[in-house]
Structure 1
Amino acid sequence: MSVLITGGAGYIGSTVASACEEAGIVPVILDSLVTGRREFAEGREFYEGDIADGELIDRIFREHPDIEAVVHCAALIVVPDSVADPIGYYEANVVKTLDLVKHLIRNGCERMIFSSSASIYAPGDDLTVDEGSALDPQSPYARTKAVCEGMFADIAATQPIRVLSLRYFNPIGADPKMRTGLQLARPSHALGKMIQAYEEGVPFELTGVDYATPDGSGIRDYIHVWDLAEAHVAALRRFDELDVSVINLGTGQGTTVRELAELFNEVADRPIEIVERDRRPGDVIGSYTRVELAERVLGWKARYSVADGIRHSLEWRELRAERLGA
């Protein structure tokens, strides 16, 4: 079995590719390298190009007729950037995804796993959500994911393609074998900012301390990227027997940003200072997921702890410049 992974030279896509290989599934990588890294596709069948390039998609399927499914990870994902450039985000995440789906249908591909986001949820009163919870995306980035999911539902109702949306919570960590990790030198998420503060010897800015959480900081469900990758493999294996179109992927435990920083200080060899700041544009209180559906239909549950994710992130950070040359 082969699987086409769009964005397969990025952080999540490359980790999914490694998990596929370990499970005997052959990954075929398509990446424009706008944010992905060529190094992450080494040793794999790799096509450099855009998901909207119909001629390239046709060529991939012509050269790999054994592709049975697509894992669609390609997207722009930085919330503040989406606020500043909503047109660019809708074009990259929605318009080009629609083009991709048209090309897949033309090539007879009937299975797609979509890299969605838990940021589309409206948090419940207890800050937990499940697949049936209300949606209320609060940023252009989140709305692109919600728009895509609605688009897929309409298309799948009449066209020969099924789409399973995996709504990720907050990925952290790196491939435990250190093959890949975060490719960005300056990631914008909380753990990336903590590592940057650690390296530069400056305080970590805790943005937003007036939320209705136990300590006032936003709450997240931090899932190890390898757990996330293994969930994709489980979804590929069970795709045809699934009777759902959406599955949440998280740990089922909420961790506030302040708690994350405290865990960081327990794992790291020296602590970071924490200073409080106002919320950034697009910031939300957050949520964490109930995990019963993923456990029942995928036979999957997260195995790595938040501390493991921090530890692997720091280990990868030490290797990043050596592996990526920057």
Structure 2
Amino acid sequence: MRVLVTGGAGYIGSHAVRDLINSGHSVTVLDNLSKGHREAVDPRASFIVGNLSNQDLLIRTLHSHQIEAVIHFAGLIDVRESVHEPYKYYYTNLSLTLNLLYAMMKAGVKKIIYSSSAAVYGNPDINPIAEREHPEPITPYGRSKLMAETVIEDFGRAYGLSYIMLRYFNVAGASTDSILGEDHHPESHLIPRILHAANEGGVVEIFGTDYQTPDGTCIRDFIHVLDVARAHVLALNHLRPGIQEIYNIGSERGFSVKEVIAACEKATGKKISTIELKRRAGDPAILIANTQKIRKELKWMPLYPSIETIVQHSWHWHSTHPNGLEEPDDSAQIHH
């Protein structure tokens, strides 16, 4: 299938692009490189540097590359930043998604896979969390992702758009050959922050040690980036007229902050310094995915479920790329 991947120069997007091409799909990547890295784009993909705000570019690209489906990764992901700068998140994650959907309708492209987030669930009372749980996001980031989901659902009802929305839990890890890995600027995710501290002798902040969990720290569901990438390939193969679905992607296993730090210490062979701070407002004690729906309907299951494997792959990438990839283009606009 001929696929347009927005944000294909980013962390998850670049892994998915590689998997899509290896699976026989023809891929065009659109990314403005404000957060992504040109070096991360598979050389077998067509690559266009551009913004989702450019309606003419979107329609022209969809037509000229004879695109049959879109996988939409492009967006902003820093939960804490979204609280202080909500405009950026509603504009990028919501308005530009609407712009993309309008271009798709103009070009007659009626299939999309949307990169959503477990942040739409907010602070749920039930764990593991199934897709049927009522979403109640508690941050502008989570709300922007849920609003985009709602727009996609409305396009499905009005224009016959087929969609699969994938709600990720905590994505981590790197490709097994260490060519691709996680390199955000700034880095907000736990595992790379711990590994950076191991590399540079820094200190890892632990926000809250008084949760009702076995060791007092938050428990999260970590899923390997390769398993997330493979879910997109399976979703694309499943996507046909009339399909309108939402799926969680997670390991169904919870790991506490202290357990993740211990796994990083084991992988690196280094003692990692920590500092215990007060809880952050809105941080749930436990977030674990129920993924029975995608396992049953798409025959997906995680191939790398252990935190040890996730951390080992991530550490190998970080230790072989101590300076990361090339710097993102700061002159690019904030939106992809």
TM over 0.5, yes or no? yes
Whole-Å separation in 2 of the counterparts to 1:89 and 1:172: 22
Structure 1 equivalent of residue 46 of structure 2: 45
Whole-Å separation in 1 of the counterparts to 2:255 and 2:180: 25
1:175 aligns with 2:175: yes
1:220 touches 1:256 (CA, 8 Å); kept in 2? yes
Structure 2 equivalent of residue 319 of structure 1: 320
- Tell me how far 1:321 sits from its aligned partner: 4.8
Structure 2 equivalent of residue 151 of structure 1: 151
Corresponding letter in the other structure for 1:239: L
Whole-Å separation in 2 of the counterparts to 1:325 and 1:99: 29
Whole-Å separation in 2 of the counterparts to 1:221 and 1:241: 32
Whole-Å separation in 2 of the counterparts to 1:56 and 1:234: 28
Structure 1 equivalent of residue 268 of structure 2: 268
2:59 touches 2:107 (CA, 8 Å); kept in 1? yes
Structure 2 equivalent of residue 129 of structure 1: 129
Quick one: structure 1 residues 282 and 10, their matched pair in 2 at CA, closer, same or farther if it must change by over 3 Å? farther
Q: 3-state SS of the aligned residue for 2:68? A: strand
Structure 2 equivalent of residue 298 of structure 1: 298
1:123 touches 1:129 (CA, 8 Å); kept in 2? no
Percent identical pairs in the alignment equals 34
Structure 2 equivalent of residue 215 of structure 1: 215
Structure 1 equivalent of residue 61 of structure 2: 60
Whole-Å separation in 2 of the counterparts to 1:144 and 1:131: 18
Structure possessing the higher relative contact order (Cα contacts under 8 Å, 6 or more residues apart)? 2
2:32 touches 2:51 (CA, 8 Å); kept in 1? yes
202-211 or 71-80, larger mean C-alpha shift:
202-211
Whole-Å separation in 2 of the counterparts to 1:42 and 1:168: 23
Whole-Å separation in 1 of the counterparts to 2:247 and 2:316: 30
1:80 touches 1:282 (CA, 8 Å); kept in 2? no
2:172 touches 2:222 (CA, 8 Å); kept in 1? yes
The 5 A counterparts of 1:179-198 are 179-184=179-184, 186-198=186-198
Structure 2 equivalent of residue 224 of structure 1: 224
Q: 3-state SS of the aligned residue for 1:221? A: strand
The 5 A counterparts of 1:251-262 are 251-262=251-262
Structure 1 equivalent of residue 237 of structure 2: 237
Whole-Å separation in 2 of the counterparts to 1:139 and 1:289: 19
2:174 touches 2:181 (CA, 8 Å); kept in 1? yes
- Tell me how far 1:283 sits from its aligned partner: 3.3
How well do the aligned residues superpose, as a CA RMSD in angstroms?
A: 1.8
- Tell me how far 1:143 sits from its aligned partner: 0.7
1:9 touches 1:38 (CA, 8 Å); kept in 2? yes
Structure 2 equivalent of residue 163 of structure 1: 163
Q: Deviations over 1:124-168 (max 9, x none)?
A: 545310010121211111110111111211221111312211000
- Tell me how far 1:15 sits from its aligned partner: 0.4
Whole-Å separation in 2 of the counterparts to 1:122 and 1:56: 35
Q: 3-state SS of the aligned residue for 2:81? A: helix
- Tell me how far 1:203 sits from its aligned partner: 2.7
Corresponding letter in the other structure for 2:314: S
1:80 touches 1:280 (CA, 8 Å); kept in 2? no
Corresponding letter in the other structure for 1:58: I
Q: 3-state SS of the aligned residue for 1:279? A: coil
Whole-Å separation in 1 of the counterparts to 2:244 and 2:96: 25
2:168 touches 2:250 (CA, 8 Å); kept in 1? yes
- Paired residues in the alignment total 325
Structure 1 equivalent of residue 283 of structure 2: 283
2:117 touches 2:168 (CA, 8 Å); kept in 1? yes
Corresponding letter in the other structure for 1:60: T
Q: 3-state SS of the aligned residue for 1:57? A: helix
Whole-Å separation in 2 of the counterparts to 1:102 and 1:210: 47
2:217 touches 2:257 (CA, 8 Å); kept in 1? yes
Q: 3-state SS of the aligned residue for 1:129? A: coil
54-63 or 135-144, larger mean C-alpha shift:
54-63
Structure 2 equivalent of residue 108 of structure 1: 108
Structure 1 equivalent of residue 70 of structure 2: 70
Q: Deviations over 1:30-85 (max 9, x none)?
A: 001110011112512001111121111122122211x2211100000001111110
The 5 A counterparts of 1:16-55 are 16-43=16-43, 44-55=45-56
Structure 1 equivalent of residue 311 of structure 2: 310
1:186 touches 1:196 (CA, 8 Å); kept in 2? no
